């Protein structure tokens, strides 16, 4: 059966999109859900030009009535690109049902022809993205020029089955450093605890304190948290908390919240999206300590991976993460050469 591609609306497509996401377990995790992408669009792009140059090009791909692919795109003249931006989207990707990836790739290329697109920009692709594996050869066969470039690195920890087993896989010098920092914290007599918040109401109530810790921890984070960006975080909670895609951790020292990490959850992976801490507790390394406790909590909950997302800060590798690439794929339609005349 041939596939059909058609424009779609957020609200109507979202339930089927979420169901397809649950079935195929895309490597982009929560970033590939309608909940995250609609929050991004509402915060950053849901306004007419010139405030935002792109128009929404959200399309469904179907085999009869069955949804087999989602093309979350936006358009700027002849350029089509994935919805999102690198400032807040660690991953971006296309969605395709298992076993239908090649057909969805062909449907995408047909759509590019139908809408006279000159370029397709796919940033943020995780290493196991089907688009990264299949689109280059399919597009080359149709005469497109292909560019592929490593964009960033996301350090990822494949979790062991227990805390002791996890410590065993960390390099000896890093294991000693983790234990030393934990001793510095605990030997001072501090009472520490990790608080995990999952419910929508509690997440809404706790978000202002998280944003305050985030802004206090570093000057660049304070500058990053513009009014628009703060609205985006509120939109994330509004959209992603009800389906269980969010968890907010607070790290307590002597019953005070001194560090926080906002995480995404999907398909057994915990993605540490953003964090902050009280600078008065910097000497206790509460930022690192909070992440150590979160890794242990993820192991105890039976999760399979912790993804630190973009950035190559040393602490991520000290905690046992391995670098995984994030790739940008670009398709360009060759410019026709002018024909000479006599």
Q: Is the dihedral of CA 235, 272, 74, 76 positive or negative?
A: positive
- For residue 317, give the nearest of 151, 152, 156 by alpha carbon: 156
Q: In whole angstroms, what is the distance from residue 311 CA to residue 257 CA?
A: 25
Instruction: Tell me if the bond preceding 50 is cis, omega within 30° of 0.
Output: yes
Element containing residue 71 per DSSP (H, E): strand 66-76
Q: In whole angstroms, what is the distance from residue 140 CA to residue 22 CA?
A: 31
**Amino acid 174: pLDDT:** 74
Q: In whole angstroms, what is the distance from residue 243 CA to residue 35 CA?
A: 9
Across 159-311, the runs of DSSP E, i.e. the strands, are 192-197, 246-253, 256-266, 269-277, 305-307
For strands 256-266 and 66-76, give the pairing. Answer: unpaired
Q: Is the dihedral of CA 303, 305, 311, 316 positive or negative?
A: positive
List of residues 6+ apart from 336 with CB closer than 8 A: none
Give the HSE-up count for residue 133: Cα atoms under 13 Å, Cβ half-sphere. Answer: 10
The pTM assigned to this predicted structure is: 0.93
Per-residue pLDDT of the chain (342 residues; tens, 9 = 90+): 579 999 999 999 999 999 999 999 889 999 999 999 999 999 998 766 556 678 999 999 999 999 999 999 999 999 999 999 999 999 999 999 999 999 999 999 999 999 999 999 999 999 999 999 999 999 999 999 999 999 999 999 999 889 888 888 887 767 777 777 777 777 777 899 999 999 999 999 999 999 999 999 999 999 999 999 999 999 999 999 999 999 999 999 999 999 999 999 999 999 999 999 999 999 888 999 999 999 999 999 999 999 999 999 999 998 999 999 999 999 999 876 555 544
Q: What is the CA radius of gyration of the chain?
A: 22
For strands 66-76 and 4-7, give the pairing. Answer: unpaired
**Amino acid 337: pLDDT:** 58
| Residue 244 near residue 265, CB atoms below 8 Å | yes
Instruction: Spell out the domains of the chain, with CATH numbers in brackets.
Output: 4-153+326-332 (3.40.630.30), 160-303 (3.40.630.30)
Beta bridge partners of 272: 263
Cα–chain center distance at 276 = 18
**Amino acid 48: pLDDT:** 60
- For residue 107, give the nearest of 147, 77, 140, 63 by alpha carbon: 63
């Amino acid at each position: 059966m041939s596939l059909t591609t058609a424009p779609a609306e957020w609200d109507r497509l979202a339930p089927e999109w979420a169901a397809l996401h649950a079935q195929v377990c895309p490597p982009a995790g929560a970033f590939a859900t309608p909940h995250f992408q609609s929050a991004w669009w509402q915060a950053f792009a849901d306004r007419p030009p010139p405030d935002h140059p792109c128009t929404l090009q959200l399309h469904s791909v179907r085999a009869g009535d069955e949804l087999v692919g989602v093309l979350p795109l936006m358009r700027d003249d002849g350029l089509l690109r994935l919805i999102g931006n690198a400032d807040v989207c660690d991953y971006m990707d296309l969605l395709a049902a298992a076993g239908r990836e090649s057909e969805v790739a062909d449907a995408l290329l047909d759509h590019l022809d139908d809408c006279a697109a000159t370029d397709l920009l796919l940033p943020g692709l995780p290493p196991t993205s089907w688009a990264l594996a299949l689109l280059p050869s399919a597009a080359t066969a149709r005469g497109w020029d292909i560019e592929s470039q490593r964009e960033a690195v996301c350090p990822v920890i494949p979790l062991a089955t227990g805390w002791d087993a996890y410590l065993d896989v960390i390099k000896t010098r890093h294991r000693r450093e983790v234990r030393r920092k934990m001793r510095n914290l605990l030997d001072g007599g501090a009472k520490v605890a990790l608080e995990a918040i999952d419910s929508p109401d509690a997440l809404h109530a706790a978000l202002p304190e998280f944003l305050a810790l985030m802004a206090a921890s570093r000057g660049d984070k304070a500058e990053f948290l513009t009014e628009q960006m703060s609205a985006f975080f509120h939109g994330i909670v509004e959209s992603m908390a009800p389906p269980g895609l969010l968890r907010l951790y607070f790290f307590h020292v002597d019953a005070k919240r001194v560090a926080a990490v906002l995480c995404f959850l999907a398909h057994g992976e915990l993605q540490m999206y953003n964090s902050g801490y009280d600078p008065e507790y910097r000497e206790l390394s509460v930022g690192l300590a909070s992440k150590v406790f979160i890794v242990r909590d993820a192991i105890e909950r039976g999760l399979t991976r912790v993804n630190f997302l973009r950035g190559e800060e040393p602490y991520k590798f000290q905690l046992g993460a391995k670098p995984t690439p994030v790739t940008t794929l670009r398709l360009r339609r060759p410019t026709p050469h002018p024909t000479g005349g006599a």
